[in-house]
Amino acid sequence: MASALAAKLGFNSLLRRQAKNFRVRICTMESDMEFSCEVKWKGKDLFDLVCRTLGLRETWFFGLQYNIKDTVAWLKMEKRVLDQEVPQEEPITLHFLAKFYPENAEEELVQDITQHLFFLQVKMKILEEEIHCPPEASVLLASYAVHAKYGDYDPNVHKTGFLAEEELLPKRVINLYQMTAEMWEERITACYAEHRGRTRDEAEMEYLKIAQDLDMYGVNYFLIRNKKGTDLLLGVDALGLHIYEPDNRLTPKCSFPWNEIRNISYSDKEFTIKPLDKKTNVFKFNSSRLRVNKLILQLCIGNHDLFMRRRRVDSLEVQQMKAQAREERARKQVERQRLQREKQLREEAERARDDLERRLIQLQDEAHMANEALLRSEQTADLLAEKAQIAEEEAKLLAQKAAEAETEMQRIKVTAIRGQEERQLMEQKMLEAEMLALKMAKESERRAKEAEQLRQDLQEARESERRAKHKLLEITSKPKNAQVQNISTMPPDLSFSRENLSFDFKDTDMKRLSMEIEKEKVEYMEKSKHLQEQLNELKTEIESLKMKERETPLDIIHNQNTEQGTSKHSNFKKVATSSFVL
């Protein structure tokens, strides 16, 4: 049956060679592309076509990968596509991925498209846990991934729950803590809000700068055996070769930097690593599969070539690319500053407009209150006038009664001669009448004073009415003046002309921006210190919610390395193989 399958595959390969063209599907981290290729095409022809389509010039980091049995392989550049063990189904599916990783992403990755492809691939490997990432770093990386997707944080737009459908953290990290999705989102959003002002490219680069310090970043692992038959792991990365124990992919037992390796060779299944120092033992190991041996050799050659290339003067092509990148960054910086100025002017204009509207509303409220005060003054004046009239009428009535009492007293005096008894009676009545008259006079005087007071109150009320009318007249005429004054102080017209949108890209601007870029490099160490403080703060915040029984072996090893102050770069210093018998 196996021979029949082989015959069938061979027949399919023969049919491909007889056809003029064949179809290939290229899967990138963002999208899929399909090409029609000629039968005679080599791997390089197809690879160049993909790079041109993507606009990618830093081609040396990437390759076309395909699955073969239980391992992966990379398309060879100098060999025809159909002569390689690519999948038999058509279209042939190949994956465009980073094959080699930079030592320092910020210094080496020039193009935005290169940086973006690395960002997507590293993020996928962290989420799929191919790269071990501690929880606090996972939260910070997630915040930069959110910023790269959504831009600056806006509390009016990015409300609670906007990250509910996003995959931002490894499942291992989520399961390690007694935290709800809302609690994770709250911590990610708190970090995200601090990144305000960065562009998408800057957020992606910050992501890569943090990720490249992770112990498993950029390492390809292979199962090997030493001369004694002990199972080990071989790690190949941008810095050299590392030997791990199978259950610890974080801390190598020993390392071989590329600049200290004289030669790597393999014969059949045996690999030999010869250090430059002839006193150091030669390290030999076995790998059971030929395909894996070829893959190891490819990765060793490619990483070693890039290692040496970084330590030489950049080629003319790379120098041109870096110069173009600097110009592009400077142009973007100028454009960003221009947009920032326009945004600031818009915001100032909007604030001035809002202030004017608030002032207008305030004046309207004052006018309404003045109208109400005027109305109350008019009502008070009418009431006082009515009271004054009543008081005057009461005073007249009291005066009339006083006159009648006086007349009655005179009449009593005339008739007092009628008799002693009658006179005494009359005297008594006269006394009573006098007292009544006196009382009436006092009451009349009081009423007269009250009337006088009411007249004064009426005058004051009318004076208040006059002032209220004058105040209302001032208020109703004020908004126009205020509006003219505010309009005169508003920023220039924001409907910018084409002249305002253009800018002169002078040498002085380039020099100034270049100095700013150099200044940013000098400030990197301070930012790194801030980054470490931020990571420690995040770790402290969530430490109390950790369920230690769910820690994986790699989590435990990472914690031990952290306590001992062991880092990825300090591990590399353990070069001497004499300290570890292989």
Annotated binding site: 76-79, 294
Largest distance between two CA atoms of the chain: 170
In the 3-class helix/strand/coil scheme, how is 270-316 assigned residue by residue? Answer: EEEEEECCCCCCCEEEECCCHHHHHHHHHHHHHHHHHHHHHCCCCCH
- 170: preceding bond cis by omega (within 30 degrees): no
Identify each DSSP E strand in 320-443 by its residue range: none
d(CA 37, CA 39) in angstroms, rounded, equals 6
Q: Taking the alpha carbons of 205, 210, 211, 215 in that order, is the dihedral positive or negative?
A: positive
Query: Which residue type sits at 323?
Result: A
d(CA 193, CA 206) in angstroms, rounded, equals 15
Task: Kindly give, in sequence order, each residue whose CB lies less than 8 Å from that of residue 178, ignoring residues fewer than 6 positions away.
Answer: 545, 547
Tokens matching residue 196: 């305000």
Sheet strand arrangement including 231-236:
254-257, 240-244, 231-236, 220-226, 283-286, 270-275, 261-267
Question: Among candidates 105, 170, 100, which has minimal Cα distance to 135?
Answer: 170
d(CA 140, CA 22) in angstroms, rounded, equals 45
d(CA 16, CA 11) in angstroms, rounded, equals 9
d(CA 453, CA 460) in angstroms, rounded, equals 11
First to last CA, the chain: 43
How many Cα atoms sit within 13 Å of 500 on the Cβ side? 11
In the 3-class helix/strand/coil scheme, how is 235-246 assigned residue by residue? Answer: EECCCEEEEECC
